[in-house]
A and B are shown apart, each in its own frame.
Chain A
Amino acid sequence: MQSAIIDEAIHNLKIYREKGFKIVGVVPHGMVPEELIVAAGAIPIRIALGGKDEQERGDNYLSSTTCPFGRATLGFFEEQHPLYTLVDTVIVGTFCNGVQNVANYLNYFQKASVPLILPHDRRDSSFNFYINELKKIQAYLETLTGNRCTLRTFTGAIQEYNHLRALLREINDYRKKDNPPVCGRTIHQVVGQALLLGPKVMIPRCEELLQQLRGTPKPYSGSRIFLTGSGITLGDSILEVIEDKAGGLIVADDLWSSMDYFLEDVPHFTDPLRALAEKYLRKSLSGRMIPESEIRIPKILELYRDFRAQGIINHTLKYCDSYSGLKPEFRRFMSRQNIPVLELDRDYAEANIGQLQTRIEAFLEMIE
């Protein structure tokens, strides 16, 4: 399924390029408004592939204690993956060290880039700083495309993305059911497609999926899991391990690769950049923001209860600082709420999949 999504994205992007559109890759997970890229008349694609072989290739550039995503991303650029070769420029920045490290080597692959500098907090001065960064990106994109962002182009892009997000929320709400017709993989696949194909392709596809869901599709069952931690990249098999092999059912999450993508809309606006900053900075669920107790943790508790999860899997990619540093605090906090937590720490190497599966199975038995 995932390779089909990637093939489709490559096909679509080639057509866009033939028509003269610029393709903009986005590395910082979930904190760059794709609406801004669309408003400038370019095509966004999220840099979201992960893979074992590419992680190893990335070791030619980055140290082994850099996150697997950062290393794999450079590996994909080095092997000239057809999706990444189509990218004209890449938005990078200070989301985390993995993202910064990708930026440091993009010129080795003749890829232009522009940094989005991100603050760690949401105070007014940081909020205004972030808006100014968006202005900088806007100017860069306008130069790249030769188009001006106007209130009309912003409105069109924001409405389109809000529409897609509303549909995704509707699909996602089916996960609240006892035996839901969608599982964690379903949502990840749909969001994965959105990250690469954009709302134009995905809005009709989501409407079609909703039609199917209103019928009587096959239900999923299993121990109800809330998944948190590092995002799941396309090509990563961990969801199959949790749901297919171990028998879990992921009913909710706070990941950039899933629910954080669509939970919040861009609010009504007079100033589009300010409105984008409301969603992408103030409402971001990302663990790189400080303190986590402000937005992320309360939201996890709310979702955990709304979706009637029975336990949390806190999954981190090795050296992912957004989520690894405060794992014990997270576990202790959830323990005080009587919520069991399983911690998984891994990279894209598949050698330890069997061991992971055993640990997940034991956890699922425990929470049943």
Chain B
Amino acid sequence: MINNQAEDFTIQSVLDLGIRYLFGPIQIANARRKGKKIVAGFLPPMELVFAAQNTLPLFLPRLTEFPFSKYIGIVNILNQLHLLKPLISYYIRNQEHLSVGYFDSFNQNEFSKIFTSLIQLAEKAEFYMDTCVQTRICYGALIKNSKLIDLIVGGLEGDYCLHFAKFYERMANFKPVFYFEKPYGDQTNSTLVDVVTAELHRYIAALEDLSGSTITDNRLRKVANINNEIRGYFREIYNYYIKGYVPVHTVTLLLIHGCYVDFLSDIKYFQDTMRNLVFEMRRKYRKGLPNYRKENIYRVIIAGSPGFDPILPSTFENAGAVLLYLDLFESCMRYPSINTTGDMFENYANYLLDLNIKNGISDLIDVWMGIAKRTQADAILFSNVWGCRFTTPAYRKMKDLVNAELGIPIFPLDFYSPGEGIGQVQTRIGAFIEMLK
């Protein structure tokens, strides 16, 4: 049996992460009232922003307000009083006989509607629509929330995707943008080391200017220590998957990815919650994680573009499989922690170089192949996010490699916008899982 996604919210720390994620609009409004500066970004990691005082990183789509967001204040209070978890457990046990406004409104269709409304905002602002859903959503989120932002940070992804680079150039029409140049390569290229070091100093200076505070070696070290600890938790979670268990639902994996972009604008909170999550997983693991044994559950990893319809995980469950989105976890496994002794500028530059792309899409194909091998996946879903120029053209290459090295099925699935062609998607996935059986 595979758990329903709602059951993950009986894990206290998943509940905490989810509520804090939805709490974004209130959290940022409070921060603005207190005079904090907001730095928007779209891809991880943005933790360096925490090294500046009175400055917060923000993943803009986290400001999205859902219909259930209006209850978030009371839900938060219930959670702090430790009443929410038992309520959810009760709801799950009796959901066939209950109709509860909050839970009823918490469904994937609402996600689709909200994200579609952001895409429509982008379209109205003449955004370049022949592009991936992620940038369409992020641009809509920028249009909606630009008043809240003091600085936009980007560029690291612009090196592999020219559209992303131009996306940031366009954003500079609204707000100051810091574009971090980081061409492909590694530490063996001394001129690349110079570029990254120069860019890091420029970035730190921009943050110092914005915050009016000095970013010291000690502050960088403190942030690095926390980041290392968090990435350590990711490795531990990933190990459960490698051992053949599925400790949390894919929606929770998505939530963790989303939280990692800006560390929920509160690095300490994110650190504590991830620590708690791992403690809870250890407890569950010791008890045998009865509902998550590998037997009879087809494990399908997702490769390709980082984005898919929110309805996809439950579609897989209904078909008798589990979809695993583990890119971030694999990257934590592959790349070393930040060195926290000595010169922290140099250490951060080295860390950025460790994370850097060396050989274009081949690096990502290595990551996906690594996940498939480590988790002994039964199949691979290749997400063709329409308009993604970096990942979708790699399908043929990935398919040839999977056929040659793994001998498991690989299944391409197109995705343009949330909520589109759901019936057809469900039919195709059902047929695919039947074929696996």
Q: Which residues of A contact B (CB under 8 A)?
A: 60-63, 65-67, 70, 94, 96-98, 100-101, 103-105, 115, 117-121, 123-126, 128-129, 131-132, 288, 290-292, 318-319, 321-322, 324-329
Contact = CB atoms under 8 A, between A and B. Distances in A.
Which bracket fits the contact residues of B? 35 or more
Contact of A121 (B160, B170, B179): B179
Interface stretch (B106-114, B183-191, B428-436): B183-191
B389 A65 contact: yes
A129 B165 CA distance: 18
Contact of A321 (B162, B168, B173): B162
Contacts of A128: 191, 194-195
Interface stretch (B204-212, B320-328, B392-400): B392-400
Nearest to A71: B393
Contact of A63 (B128, B163, B192, B392): B392
Given A63-B393, A325-B128, A94 B194 contact: no
A209 B13 CA distance: 76
B338 interface: no
A242 B312 CA distance: 47
B179 A129 contact: no
Given A66-B393, A129-B191, A319-B130, 14 more contacts: A63-B384, A66-B389, A97-B161, A104-B360, A115-B184, A120-B179, A125-B191, A125-B198, A129-B194, A321-B162, A321-B163, A326-B169, A327-B128, A328-B126
B387 interface: yes
A94 B390 contact: no
A125 B185 contact: no
Contacts of A131: 191
Interface string B330-372: 0000000000000000000000000000001110000000000
A60 B194 CA distance: 40
B66 interface: no
Contact of A65 (B165, B386, B394, B397): B386
A94 B184 contact: yes
Contact of A94 (B183, B191, B362, B387): B183
B192 A291 contact: no
B165 A120 contact: yes
A65 B179 contact: no
A290 B165 contact: yes
Given A94-B183, A98-B389, A292-B169, A63 B395 contact: yes
A291 B131 CA distance: 20
B183 to A, nearest CB: 5
Nearest to B360: A100
Nearest to B182: A119
Contacts of A290: 158, 165-166, 168-169, 179
B170, B184, B360: residue with the most chain A Cβ atoms closer than 10 Å: B360
Given A97-B390, A324-B128, A132 B169 contact: no
B179 A326 contact: no
Contact of A325 (B159, B167, B360): B167
Contact of B195 (A70, A96, A129): A129
A104 B195 contact: no
A321 B389 contact: yes
A55 B14 CA distance: 48
Given A63-B395, A97-B389, A125 B166 contact: no
Contacts of B179: 120-121, 290
Contacts of B130: 65, 318-319, 324
A326 B198 contact: no
Query: Which of the listed residues A97, A101, A103, A291 has the most CB atoms from chain B within 10 Å of its own CB?
Result: A97
Contacts of A98: 389
Interface string B193-204: 011001100000
Contact of B181 (A63, A119, A321): A119
B361 A100 contact: yes
A125 B114 CA distance: 42
Contacts of A104: 360-362, 393-394, 397
Contacts of B167: 325
A122 to B, nearest CB: 10
26 contacts: A61-B393, A63-B384, A63-B393, A65-B130, A65-B389, A66-B392, A70-B393, A94-B360, A97-B160, A98-B389, A100-B160, A104-B393, A115-B184, A115-B360, A117-B183, A119-B195, A121-B181, A125-B181, A126-B183, A128-B191, A128-B194, A129-B183, A288-B162, A321-B161, A324-B128, A324-B130
B182 to A, nearest CB: 9
B172 interface: yes
Contacts of A288: 162, 165
Contact of B191 (A97, A101, A132, A319): A132
Contacts of A62: 393, 396
Nearest to A62: B393
A103 B362 CA distance: 11
A285 to B, nearest CB: 15
B397 A105 contact: yes
A318 B387 CA distance: 11
B189 A120 contact: no
A119 B126 contact: no
Nearest to B412: A63
B199 A125 contact: yes
B152 to A, nearest CB: 14
A66 B128 CA distance: 15
A120 B158 contact: yes
A319 B397 contact: no
Nearest to A60: B396
Contacts of B162: 96-97, 288, 321-322
A329 B173 CA distance: 9
Interface in B118-162: 126, 128, 130-131, 155, 158-162
A70 B397 CA distance: 15
A61 B167 CA distance: 26
B172 A291 contact: yes
Of A66, A128, A325, A327, chain B has the most CB atoms within 10 Å of the CB of: A325
Contacts of A319: 130, 387, 389
Contacts of A61: 393, 396
A327 B131 CA distance: 14
A292 to B, nearest CB: 7
The 9 closest A-B pairs by CB, nearest first: A97-B389, A325-B166, A63-B392, A132-B191, A328-B126, A125-B198, A62-B393, A321-B163, A321-B162
A210 B362 CA distance: 49
Contacts of B128: 324-325, 327
A100 to B, nearest CB: 5
Given A104-B361, A290-B179, A326-B170, A94 B159 contact: yes
B181 A117 contact: no
Contact of B170 (A96, A129, A322, A329): A329
Contact of A123 (B166, B172, B181, B184): B181
Residue in B163, B389, B397 with the greatest tally of chain A CB atoms within 10 Å:
B389
B412 to A, nearest CB: 9
Nearest to A136: B189
A70 B130 CA distance: 16
B181 A126 contact: yes
